Amino acid sequence: MKKVLVLSVKAGMGHHQTGLAIMDYLESCGVVCEMLDVYQYAAPFLSESLSKGYLLSTRYLPAAYGQFYRLAEKRRHIGGEQGKIHTWNKLISSRLTKFFKTFEPDAVICTHIFSAEIVTYMRNKGKVSCPLIGIITDFTVHPFWEETNLDYYVTASRLLNHQLAKKGIPSGKALPIGIPIHPKFGKSIPKDEARARLGVDLRLPTLLVMMGSMGYGNVLKQLLALDKMEYDFQVLCVCGTNSHLLALVQNHSWKKKMYAYGYVGNVDVLMDAADVIVTKPGGLTTSELLAKGLPAILVDPIPGQEDRNVEFLLNNGLAIKVSATFPIDEAVYQLLLHEWRLTMLAKSAKLMGKPAAAKDLGDFVIELIGEE
């Protein structure tokens, strides 16, 4: 029986969810799968520090995080911190080698650059010989992927092949099949049915406001601006794990119909119910909304990779973006006033979406390890 090991790092939930999506498909095909957070497995204290550090930097010090990301892209003044990461990766690889010897995977899938760097070190030391696959979970090629030595690199779109080539990764290693997402995002139900399931108004234009699993950004400010508009619509606001935001939304007196949710498992239904999504452009959320063909208004991207996601979406006619001089109310007004804009964005999203990415990657892996 074939076995696949999925290696992730819980710096944000996107990497983890992507790993679960590909695992679900492989397991449905009879492949034995195991997923490890490499830092949690080999160095729990480091995993906690990394998770807290990612939360602190992206939520409370986003400018600093963005500056580090841009410096990483340019390879300037980052040797100290990146050197520490490389040192930790070497230490972790020794503990991970023991797991490899026990599990004996036929292939390894990495959903984070750190895990890809670790297995690269292991390969270079002759400690791993099975096929290695990396999943790049944004609509860009993050810094340091060019330092890895993998067999294949999964990207969100073939439009990123040029970026891979510029980083020295051969075109033959590119798998532009999309970021794996749950297959439910490839299916849709009529808006009125989705709204009936949610218990919201069936007739009103509907906005879905969703700012990641942690409820990132100044969501309340956006909601207050929307509430002042004369245009009649309802808002579905997903606050994620941000209990403080959830309480603020639930306890405020709104003029419009405002529905507040915490962390939910039915994002697909919420997307089917919506005419427009207001969101930060995380890689996984972006992949899901494109698969659904849902017009998007982008707000509060985390500086760094989400800035690059914005560039990809805007340059390919897939979304519009809020700014200091183009606030949320103007963006919503323009989209709801002109149905052709909504239609255009929806068609473009559908053309770019890759709802079958998990299946396509799973089928590729099964064929790959079947040849071993």
Q: What is the pLDDT of residues 78-131, one digit of tens each?
A: 444 444 456 667 778 888 998 999 999 999 999 999 899 999 999 999 999 999
pLDDT higher than 70, residue 12? no
Q: Alpha carbon of 56 to those of 62, 162, 169, 216: distances in Å?
A: 8, 33, 32, 12
pLDDT tens digits, 32-64: 999 998 878 876 655 555 554 445 444 554 555
Q: Which CATH architecture has domain 3-181+355-370?
A: 3-Layer(aba) Sandwich (3.40)
**pLDDT at 72 (0 to 100):** 58
Distance CA 318, CA 316 (A): 6
CATH class for the region spanning 184-352: alpha beta
**CA-based max dimension of the chain:** 66
- Which pLDDT belongs to residue 78? 47
Indicate whether this model's pTM tops 0.75: yes
Where along the chain do the CATH 3.40.50.2000 domains lie?
3-181+355-370, 184-352
Least confident of 12-21, 49-58, 335-344, 361-370: 49-58
For residue 167, the model assigns a pLDDT of: 93
Q: What percent of the chain has pLDDT over 90?
A: 72
The model's pLDDT over 124-156, given as tens digits with 9 standing for 90+, comes to: 999 999 999 999 999 999 888 998 999 999 999
Q: Is pLDDT of 77 > 50?
A: no
Other C-beta atoms lying within 10 Å of the C-beta of residue 244: 10
Assess whether pLDDT exceeds 90 at residue 7.
yes
Query: Residue 32 pairs with which residues in a beta bridge?
Result: 3
Cα gap 72→182, rounded to integer Å: 31
For range 349-365, the mean pLDDT: 97
